[in-house]
Amino acid sequence: MLRAADLLVYPVLTRDRQAMADLVLSALGPLRQARGGAEPLLDTLTAYFDSGCVAAEAARRLSLSVRALTYRLDRIHTLTGANPADPVHRYTLQTAVIGARLLDWPEKDF
């Protein structure tokens, strides 16, 4: 069950669609270079953030080994230059992941 107050951030994030699209492309665009495309790495970030940045829990949610999950996180860091485990980078990546889902990226290009 969700509270309405918990959803208030989404209209704020999508109010400036172009700014959100720019953030998604600048923060996550390099993931397109990954073998298999951006989607598996985007799913990895989603699971990682949804699990409170606990690698073991995120791995369970994705049916991966912890080693495979940490490899993916390292690959994200290499491609984007942003480390999902670093709080300074985490906020940008997490906001970009939310924006990607709201804008249906990478399926829809903008």
- Predicted pLDDT of residue 5: 58
d(C-alpha 45, C-alpha 69), whole Å: 10
Domains of the chain as residue ranges with CATH: 17-102 (1.10.10.2840)
Mean pLDDT of the chain: 90
- Alpha-carbon dihedral sign for residues 35, 36, 37, 41: negative
pLDDT in tens, 5-43: 566 566 666 678 888 899 999 999 999 999 999 999 999
pTM for this model (two decimals) = 0.86
Does pLDDT of 1 surpass 70? no
